[in-house]
């Protein structure tokens, strides 16, 4: 049995944090638990992510450039000419961010308590309006490392449920009108014209 976790970050950013984070645990489509927490501001994560992307871009398109000239006002001391080193620093900051009590104790610990089997198949839908959050190295999250069959999927918080259309014999039924049929004795009644009209109406409804 696979499990689903909807991790909704709500409104916020890495610079200002996410004050209202909701985690909803579902089993077979039914919600069994919900937890509330928050994520603190993480400007270091945002800055390192920018540096890592810039480093990869320059390394790929300008092999002759030995160093990347990027202004950085933070305190993290990481070589700018090695994308893998920057990425390791990004992973470390990411893990520290997710280990803060506001998120770890209120959400992650609760999920770990509820999901005791670490081989369980889990889909985590990361709901957020900011696509930058989806690009972060979520594999650095210790929860993701401990639950090896866990998959993290970026998801928009806005969606629309499509209603299912009724079918008969595998064919969709038209929904533009309803036809009332009365069954009875046709003796003395010319039903030919009526049947023809019904056939025409049905043809229009189907097409």
Q: Where are the domains of the chain?
A: 3-155, 169-206
**pLDDT on residue 81:** 58
Radius of gyration of the chain (CA): 28
3-state class (DSSP) for residue 78: coil
As beta bridge partners, residue 20 has: none
Model confidence at 77, in pLDDT bands (50, 70, 90)? very low
Model confidence at 61, in pLDDT bands (50, 70, 90)? low
More confident residue, 73 or 62: 62
Contact between 40 and 14 under an 8 Å Cβ cutoff? The reply is no
**pLDDT on residue 60:** 65
**pLDDT on residue 71:** 47
Segment 150-193, tens digit of pLDDT: 999 998 876 555 555 555 555 555 555 555 555 556 666 666 66
- CA gap 43, 105 in Å, rounded: 22
- pLDDT over 60 (residue 50): yes
- CA gap 60, 56 in Å, rounded: 6
- pLDDT over 80 (residue 73): no
Model confidence at 75, in pLDDT bands (50, 70, 90)? very low
Segment 97-139, tens digit of pLDDT: 999 999 999 999 999 999 999 999 999 999 998 888 999 999 8
**pLDDT on residue 143:** 95
Mean pLDDT across the chain: 80
- Give the percent of the chain with pLDDT over 70: 65
Model confidence at 83, in pLDDT bands (50, 70, 90)? confident
The CATH class for the domain spanning 3-155 reads alpha beta
Contact between 46 and 15 under an 8 Å Cβ cutoff? The reply is yes
- pLDDT over 50 (residue 92): yes
Phi, psi of 122, deg, nearest 5? -135, 130
């Amino acid at each position: 049995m696979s499990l689903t976790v909807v991790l909704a970050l709500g409104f916020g950013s890495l610079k200002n944090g996410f004050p209202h984070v909701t985690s909803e645990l579902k089993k077979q489509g039914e919600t069994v638990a919900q937890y509330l927490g928050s994520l603190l501001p993480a400007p270091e994560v945002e800055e390192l992510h920018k540096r890592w992307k810039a480093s990869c871009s320059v390394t790929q398109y300008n092999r002759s450039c030995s160093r990347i000239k990027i202004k950085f006002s933070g305190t993290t001391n990481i070589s700018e000419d090695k994308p893998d080193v920057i990425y390791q620093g990004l992973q470390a900051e990411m893990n520290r961010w997710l280990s803060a009590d506001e998120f770890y104790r209120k959400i992650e610990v609760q999920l770990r308590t509820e999901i005791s089997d670490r081989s369980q198949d889990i889909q985590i839908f990361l709901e957020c309006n900011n696509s930058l959050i989806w690009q972060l190295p979520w594999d650095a999250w210790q929860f993701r490392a401990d639950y090896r069959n866990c998959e993290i999927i970026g998801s928009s918080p806005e969606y629309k449920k499509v209603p299912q259309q009724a079918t008969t014999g595998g064919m969709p039924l038209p929904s533009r009108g309803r036809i009332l049929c009365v069954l009875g004795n046709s003796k003395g009644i010319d039903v030919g014209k009526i049947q023809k009209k019904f056939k025409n109406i049905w043809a229009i409804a189907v097409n």
